[in-house]
Structure 1
């Protein structure tokens, strides 16, 4: 078998491949040459500089695996690869140490104003008074997002004698305590207490501009801010205002909302230390990515276990009736993530009806994949989803019953914590296996999944549907479908909506302020 290495990776990685395969290292190969020759290769390894689009994949008639030496796969058409049965793999853990160390490097530079001090001395100035810094010792570091990189940063900050607090609604208290971290119950508590704040979150619809004017106002005066995670989590215009007012004493940024960020006004701000997205830019991280991806490509071509598959194919032994439910199971996990309030101790997946007679483990993993999709910063697949659950101390339980009241097959998913639970349920209906959400919270509804959805709980009294609908209509939000569920007249009701466009937070706040509205959630499913 033959492997094309299209971009530079560690020589040790190429040596791994050469143990079993014929390897061509051709970084100078033109796109025209690649399209002509790619049909002769079984494996392909790239970094971010090669566009592996549908045209390339169509020409790769013998291709079995595409490896990305790094994390992001934006330059690979994963859908086209999946249709051709080509495995796409990456190396998501190759850069976590480098990203944590970049955070610490920026932290030290920020508290001692090192870049300006270096430039001043180069200008032949010996200005010791101007560059009086602050110590880390006994300061409070607030970490937002206690995943793998956030945890490494927490360990390193503790070594400097800092008290580390964190907010991550999906991490258990027990896990945080093992790391010596004080886990706080809400974001505001971190903002109020921290002298330094470091962001370690994926960029999602929920985390976009998570830190904006209101959040800066709740921070300590003179707070210092770091972001080596994802651009867009911090509202850059709001940050500029906070810097200008002195609320934020300084910010160290390695990522920006739009990159390259050479024209970003924050780059020239006197209170900002900026680097050009260097979190993974160490020799060790690059070498590690090359070796890791080479080992994975080798395993894939040899038919061995591969951990980091972005588009893991469904195993052939999975029954076709079960396969049909996998996309729905993922969506149920996504929906559960949005509806639960923070960390859960247990996820129970119950299979009712005909499904209960099948091996359903792959569906339970699909629920976990959906649940973690927008929580962790790494790509989630059918292998590492269970690992993420274990790392977070999450108990996963599967139950079955072949009897069901209303549907031939039903999947019920419950997130549980301290005796409370949130439940969502779904099924497939009709000859086309149309996906339906048929249970939300504790109420029966019948609503198809859509990109934009909203759910409202309110007192079941006359006029409530009209009040909510009027607020949406006044703000040009079009309702495509609506379903209402209730248990008894005059009790509590839940309304589920499919809407055509995102609902702004200000509109959701207006609905939340409506008397008798108990809970309101807008959801972007994909």
Structure 2
């Protein structure tokens, strides 16, 4: 396979070796943005850590890029919306450094409590100042954790091992998790502020958390509270923190991340009560090896057409759910293709219905599969599962999903109903048999039982004697063989729909000739890809 991968920040030799077994790998460090724009051309994947910044300009300069791998947790240095719009999947390694970050948090807390950095510096400077560095014990103190995900949970576990009391706040975490870990749940941040002697931050950086811990929040806390941030820079306002420490409201702080990085100057650097490290949270041999291997595995999977384990901007489907939903993927793609080939004019509204057993599951990935096929006709962009939701919103297509456990004639039924300014269309389908074979079962409420094929034709006509013969004769003259024929009608001698499975392609010239030979004008040729 001739796909090429660019590594700009370095990964473990084991991870690199894995990639080299499948692809051409180029490792180039220290690239300027302009140079990276050139180097990214022709690459199917790029792997970065925190040093490389992938801006929209750089991403848009790529011509073959399928996946961006961030060997770490945060993706602040990747313009994810730009990647999404271009259909490039972004993946990270969220579990790779959880232990390392949790241990670093505890290390900083102990260092603050026992004034280890100052004592180390003093002694190595030739001074024995034992009485100057009186610390405090952690046992019996209360640690408040803001953000109770994987890392927050590990910090809590280790703090309990040190004899600390723990209270945590996270509105997105279930009661069960708090109960299982026997951690006191705070209903609001103010509950943390009232009780905590130390507050450890474990939040993602986003519009809701940016500058979250500022002057107003510091002065709601117990006087003398100590702040720990080994999460993301910008969540803590460093200037406000420095002023609160000088004022005695905050007792001290330990920071591993900063508002601007690399950071060599900050208001907190001048304070003895603050310990600072240069974003070392994930900097252990074990964590970096895990991150590189996790990214390498995902790059190999994605470039070989498989799903990524930790996508940042694509639908995530649990393995057990994938086993249930995957039989419907082909049906959904076929329905989307058929719908957009039959629909006349511009589509404004689409209703997707899931009935029967399938309605019990999270069907977002099925809806995305349908939309990919529909948007391929309208969008100038390359459409895939990564960018389909964004492109749908940008196009102004209104999508509504309805679900019901009731399905009259089928165990599972999926329907599409679309409306535009001047037209409407509805189609439905199901799967049958041990192989979950897709079947079209209705077009505009005309019942039709038809297995999709690559080449198909759909004709609307009046159900009167001789019509089927005329259709067969016309296609015969064009050397087009009809593999099977399916007719749906609501009443005798009324309107009817015919679906034909064809053995070969019908070109636009052949279609015009068919209309002349048969007299049928309302015909649509559909090719499934």
Q: Under a length normalisation based on structure 2, what TM-score does the superposition of the two structures give?
A: 0.59
Q: Secondary structure of 2:158's partner? A: helix
Q: Residues 186 and 365 from structure 1, CA distance in 2 versus in 1: closer, same or farther, beyond 3 angstroms?
A: farther
Taking the aligned partners of 2:232 and 2:261, their CA distance within structure 1 comes to 11
Q: Judging changes above 3 Å, is the alpha-carbon distance between structure 1 residues 16 and 400 closer, same or farther for their aligned structure 2 residues?
A: same
Deviations 1:308-365 (A, max 9, x none): 22332797845659x99xxxxxxxxxxxxxxxxxxxxxxxxxxxx9433476734399
* Greater Cα offset, 114-123 or 52-61: 52-61
Deviation at 1:228, TM superposition (A): 1.1
Residue 67 of structure 1 and its aligned partner are, at CA, apart by 2.0
Deviations along 1:443-484, one digit per CA (max 9) or x if unpaired, are: xxxxxxxxxxxxxxxxxxxxxxxxxxxxxxxxxxxxxxxxxx
- Structure 2: how far apart are the matches of 1:355 and 1:309? 25
Q: Aligned-pair distance for 1:30? A: 7.4
- 1:141·1:163 contact (CA, 8 Å) conserved in 2? yes
Unaligned runs of 5+ residues in structure 2 are 317-328, 341-349, 369-384, 387-401, 407-417, 423-529
Q: Distance in 2 between matches of 1:212 and 1:48?
A: 25
User: Are residues 1:400 and 2:397 paired?
Assistant: no
Equivalent-residue separation in structure 1 for 2:36 and 2:138 (angstroms): 52
SS in 2 for 1:355: strand
Q: 2: CA distance between counterparts of 1:92 and 1:291?
A: 12
Shift of 1:85: 3.6
Give RMSD over aligned pairs: 3.8
Contact 1:356–1:401 (8 Å) recurs in 2: no
Question: Given the superposition, is the C-alpha separation of residues 431 and 108 from structure 1 closer, same or farther in structure 2, using an over 3 Å criterion?
Answer: farther
Q: 1:200 and 1:276 mapped to 2: Cα distance? A: 17
Counterpart Cα distance in 2 of 1:159 and 1:203 = 29
- Give 1:441-480 correspondences, 5 Å limit: none
Counterpart for residue 236 of structure 2: 234
User: Once the 2 structures are TM-superposed, how far is the Cα of residue 251 of structure 1 from its aligned partner?
Assistant: 0.9
d(CA) in 1 for partners of 2:232, 2:34: 34
Q: 1:284 deviation in Å?
A: 1.9
Gaps of 5+ in 1: 325-352, 368-380, 383-397, 403-427, 433-526
Per-residue deviation at 1:220?
2.6
Q: State the SS of the aligned residue for 1:106.
A: helix
Q: Provide closer, same or farther for how the CA distance between residues 134 and 43 of structure 1 changes in structure 2, counting only shifts above 3 A.
A: same
Aligned positions of 1:80-99 closer than 5 A: 80-99=82-101
The structural deviation recorded for 1:249 is 1.9
Secondary structure of 1:185 counterpart:
coil
Partner of residue 4, structure 2 = 3
What is the SS of the residue equivalent to 2:131?
coil
Q: How has the CA–CA distance of structure 1 residues 266 and 97 changed in structure 2, closer, same or farther, with 3 Å as cutoff? A: same
SS in 2 for 1:45: strand
Structure number, greater radius of gyration: 2
Aligned to 1:407: none
- Determine helix, strand or coil for the equivalent of 2:68: strand
Cross-structure match for 1:299: 301
Provide the rounded CA distance (Å) in 2 between the counterparts of 1:103 and 1:257: 18
Structure 2 matches for 1:265-414, cutoff 5 A?
265-312=267-314, 317=332, 320=336, 354-357=351-354, 361-363=362-364, 399-400=403-404
Report the Cα distance in structure 2 between the residues aligned to 1:213 and 1:51, rounded to whole angstroms. 30
| Number of residues of Structure 1 aligned to a counterpart in Structure 2 | 355
- The alpha-carbon deviation at position 104 of structure 1 amounts to 0.8
Change (3 A) 1:431 1:235: farther
Partners of 1:106 and 1:200 lie apart in 2 by 14
SS at match of 2:263: coil
Query: Are the structure 2 counterparts of residues 35 and 174 from structure 1 closer, same or farther at C-alpha, using a change threshold of 3 Å?
Result: closer
Matches of 1:217 and 1:83, distance apart in 2 = 42
**What secondary structure does 2:353 align onto?**
helix
Counterparts of 2:171 and 2:183, CA distance in 1: 14
Q: Would you say 1:43 and 2:55 are equivalent positions?
A: no
CA contact (8 A) 1:6 1:50 kept: no
Question: Secondary structure of 1:356's partner?
Answer: strand
The 5-angstrom pairing of residues 72-221 of structure 1 reads 72-221=74-223
TM-score by length of 1: 0.59
Distance change (3 Å), C-alpha of 1:110 and 1:26: same
